Amino acid sequence: AQSVTQLDSQVPVFEEAPVELRCNYSSSVSVYLFWYVQYPNQGLQLLLKYLSGSTLVESINGFEAEFNKSQTSFHLRKPSVHISDTAEYFCAVSRTGFQKLVFGTGTRLLVSP
């Protein structure tokens, strides 16, 4: 079975500061990795995903995540955050070829002026 650990339940940062949201996973088989974002009072939206190939993946709004197989990690980073990035971020994993998502507990990113 797969599992996902997001150690930080909440990360407060100031606007324009860099941020890293940590995600570690456990699996005995190959996996796909995802970051989903949930803005206040909205549904889950896919932020970025790793399926294969380049281990560094990017989103259209400046986030990036790097798949590290040896450390079983998929940390999310942004060099300079905006107030509008305030949201809850969920890391998720699925077995390759199977589409059930296993989610972490989420990290609430709080960006203040």
Q: Residues in the site for another protein, rule: CB under 8 A?
A: 32, 34, 36, 42-46, 49, 51, 90, 92, 94, 99-106
Return all residues near 96 (Cβ < 8 A) that are at least 6 apart: 29, 30, 31, 32
Q: How far is the CB of 41 from another protein (least distance, A)?
A: 9
Closest to another protein by CB, 106 or 109: 106
- Which residue, 61, 93, 94, 59, is CA-closest to 74? 93
Given the structure tokens 């199977």, which residue do they identify? 98
Q: How far is the CB of 51 from another protein (least distance, A)?
A: 6
